């Protein structure tokens, strides 16, 4: 499977780094994922490549115009079918692990990065199929959110991680945060690793990890247990 993600951006330079390193780059190099960033200004209006305008009814801020966005999306759709057209919206559904799992099984995605005061509402009504937020705060633009969404999805594609079971034991996969993890040395200046992890008794280790994950979730993220 090769997942393709097309990102529509007003500042494509912000996305040069995230996809050139680590796990995402490994996925791209393996041919398991492709990420293409499109500069929306190339589809802007007039000699100044205008992509925004003042909001009808007055008010502060600028609004992304519908024509450049529609033209670019139409061009992409003429070349292939897309499973979702995602808009990075502060009021979208909150990105979580189940949503990342769901999107990782898709084939082709478009992510539209928001900017300014927002996008013309008709883009959301007639073009966008899904709106996603990465948290209850506002960023200067949607590029960082798009990178987070893409990373959360791509790492779940089979074959991307060296250990296929690794993604299945990540925090939030079972509705809990992850248990504490340790590595060598077992004793560092008197700071010791829990004895159970050195026992070699896998059933006891699994039980300990589950109990620790539950306790940590109750303490740090009780909202996960009430949802």
Taking the domains of the chain in order of start, what are their residue ranges?
3-154, 171-226
3-state class (DSSP) for residue 6: strand
Query: What residues contact residue 127 under an 8 Å CB cut-off, 6+ apart?
Result: 69, 70, 73, 85
Supply the pLDDT for residue 116: 84
Supply the pLDDT for residue 3: 97
Asked whether the bond before 196 is cis by omega within 30 degrees of 0, the reply is no
Supply the pLDDT for residue 224: 87
Supply the pLDDT for residue 165: 45
Per the CATH hierarchy, to which homologous superfamily does domain 171-226 belong?
Answer: tRNA(m1g37)methyltransferase, domain 2 (1.10.1270.20)
β-strand partners of 50: 45
Q: Given the DSSP bridges, would you call strands 63-64 and 52-53 parallel, antiparallel or unpaired?
A: antiparallel
Helices (H), 127-176: 143-154
Count the neighbouring beta carbons within 10 Å of the beta carbon of residue 143. Answer: 24
Asked: is 3-154 a CATH 3.40.50.300 domain? The reply is no
| pTM reported for the whole predicted model | 0.86
- Helix (H) / strand (E) element for 153: namely helix 143-154
Q: Give the residues of the chain that fall short of pLDDT 50.
A: 165, 171
The string of pLDDT tens digits covering residues 125-158 is 999 999 999 999 989 999 999 999 999 999 999 9
DSSP assignment letter at 81:
-
């Amino acid at each position: 499977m090769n997942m393709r993600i097309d990102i529509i951006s007003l500042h494509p330079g912000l996305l040069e780094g995230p996809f050139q390193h680590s796990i995402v780059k490994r996925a791209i190099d393996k041919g398991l994922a492709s990420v293409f960033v499109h500069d929306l200004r190339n589809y802007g209006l007039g000699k100044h490549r205008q992509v925004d305008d003042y909001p009808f009814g007055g008010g502060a801020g600028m609004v992304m115009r519908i024509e450049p966005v529609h033209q670019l999306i139409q061009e992409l759709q003429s070349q292939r079918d897309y499973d979702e057209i995602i808009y990075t919206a502060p009021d979208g559904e909150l990105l979580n692990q189940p949503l990342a799992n769901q999107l990782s099984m898709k084939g082709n995605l478009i992510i539209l990065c928001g900017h300014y005061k927002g996008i013309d509402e008709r883009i959301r009504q007639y073009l966008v199929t899904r709106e996603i937020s990465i948290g209850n705060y506002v960023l200067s633009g949607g590029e960082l959110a798009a990178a987070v969404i893409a990373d959360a999805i791509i790492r779940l594609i089979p074959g991307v991680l060296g250990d296929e079971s690794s993604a299945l034991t990540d925090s939030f996969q079972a509705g809990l945060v992850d248990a504490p993890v340790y590595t060598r040395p077992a004793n560092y200046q008197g700071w010791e690793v829990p004895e159970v992890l050195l026992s070699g008794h896998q059933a006891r280790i699994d039980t300990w990890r589950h109990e620790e994950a539950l306790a940590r979730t109750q303490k740090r993220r009780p909202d996960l247990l009430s949802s």
